[in-house]
Amino acid sequence: MSVVIQSVLTVLGVLIGLLALAAGLTFIERRLLGLFQERYGPNRAGPFGLLQVVADAVKIMTKEDWIAPFSDRFVFFLAPAIMVFATVMPFSVVVFSPAVAVADLNIGLLFFLAMSSLAVYGVALGGWASNSKYSLLGSLRAVGQMVSYEVFMGLSVMGVVVLAGSFSLGEIVRAQSRMWFCIPQLPGLVIFLIAGSAESRRIPFDLPEAEAELVAGFHTEYSGFKFAFFYIGEYLGITLLSTFVVVLFFGGWLGPWLPPILWFLIKLAIVIAFLILVRAALPRLRYDQLMRFGWMVMLPLALLNLLVTGALVLAAGR
């Protein structure tokens, strides 16, 4: 019985922690962008503008929840839910520390890849159900981009799997006790970061919602709480990507002196800050550049990385 209560508490704790983190990220990202761009960002509401999160939440909840009369209502409601569901689920297999983990599945990494592929349905269905040209164009781009970047996202982490000899995230972290995989798997890390940015539609790859071209892309017609779901889903996606970068390449909870969960959070914060820096620094790619880059550069690199890693492990094994 106590096991059930403990696991329920863990699930609730992880879920609430994640949602709080995603909500806080909306504020932290704007402040950090301000820092990198020599301005302030939201700093008026509360101390350091911390209450901006509350203000945004109140604003977005009290906005008119407009449902496009030309939309496909059922799918229109479903899409944001799929989006948040598919980005929250992979956290269930993450081992945050030896004590904090919902379920250390033995195929955890595969579960993550499967779930992150489901997230594309949220975007695709959202754009389709909106029944407007900008949304449709945005979701078309999203599908093309996410399907093609998924291929070498999976391949880029296979080097880690080869080195660790397991799909379980706990095992992968434990295998890094002597050396973090960011050193032997540096190409894998770079490819995973790029593919992950594309998966979570971060700025060099934010074509599905390119403001300058497509108003807001796939969520143009969304408002109120359903828009908040997409918004939260986006920040959960960033957290998800950073979490897996930390787990797969930076040794998860491993680190001296401090408690494991703190190490995990510190690494997570650094990776998230790096992703925000990328957003502050880099411009958006053109669509054909994106596709060419994906298929002509990243895919061969990922394959080569996997080949070399496998060959070295085989040679060392003998």
Partner 1 sequence: MFSIIRTLWLVFLRAFRPRFTVRYPDERRRLPPRWRGRIILSRDPDGQERCVACYLCAVACPVDCIALQATEDDQGRRYPEFFRINFSRCIFCGFCEEACPTYAIQLTPDFEMAEYRRKDLVYEKEDLLIGGSGKYSGYNFYRVAGVSIGGKDKGEGESELPPVDIRDLMP
Per rule CB under 8 A, is residue 35 in the interface with partner 1? yes
Contacts with 304 (C-beta within 8 Å, 6 or more apart), sequence order: 187
The token pair that represents 256 in the structure block: 């001296």
Per rule CB under 8 A, is residue 304 in the interface with partner 1? no
Q: Are 192 and 157 in contact (CB under 8 A)?
A: yes
Among 16, 81, 99, 281, binds partner 1 (CB under 8 A): 281
Shortest Cβ distance from residue 68 to partner 1 (Å)?
32
Amino acid found at 306: L
Among 31, 36, 48, 151, binds partner 1 (CB under 8 A): 36
- Annotate each residue in 227-266 with x if it binds partner 1 (CB under 8 A) or - if it does not, as one string: ----------------------------------------
Among 6, 40, 59, 296, binds partner 1 (CB under 8 A): 40
Among 34, 187, 224, 310, binds partner 1 (CB under 8 A): 34
Per rule CB under 8 A, is residue 6 in the interface with partner 1? no
Per rule CB under 8 A, is residue 51 in the interface with partner 1? no
* Rounded Cα gap, residues 198 and 308, in angstroms: 25
Q: Are 67 and 58 in contact (CB under 8 A)?
A: no
Q: Are 149 and 199 in contact (CB under 8 A)?
A: yes
Per rule CB under 8 A, is residue 38 in the interface with partner 1? yes
Cβ-based nearer residue to partner 1, 57 or 282: 282
Using DSSP's 3-state secondary structure scheme, residue 101 falls into: strand
Longest dimension (CA), the chain: 66
Among 2, 4, 5, 39, binds partner 1 (CB under 8 A): 39
**Looking at 21-29, 38-46, 109-117, 216-224, which segment touches partner 1 (CB under 8 A)?**
38-46
Per rule CB under 8 A, is residue 282 in the interface with partner 1? yes
Q: Which residues of 185-220 are buried (b: 16+ CB within 10 A; e: fewer)?
A: bebbbbbbbbbbbbbbbbbbbbbbbbeeebbbbbbb
Cβ-based nearer residue to partner 1, 107 or 297: 297
Q: Which residues of 113-139 are buried (b: 16+ CB within 10 A; e: fewer)?
A: bebbbebbbbbbbbbbbbbbebbbbbb
Shortest Cβ distance from residue 303 to partner 1 (Å)?
19
Cβ-based nearer residue to partner 1, 38 or 64: 38
Q: Are 111 and 93 in contact (CB under 8 A)?
A: yes
Cβ-based nearer residue to partner 1, 230 or 293: 293
Per rule CB under 8 A, is residue 19 in the interface with partner 1? no
Per rule CB under 8 A, is residue 47 in the interface with partner 1? no
Question: In angstroms, what is the C-alpha Rg of the chain?
Answer: 20
Total number of residues that touch partner 1 (CB under 8 A)? 13
55's enclosing H/E stretch is: helix 52-62
Residues that bind partner 1 (CB under 8 A): 34-40, 43, 277-278, 280-282
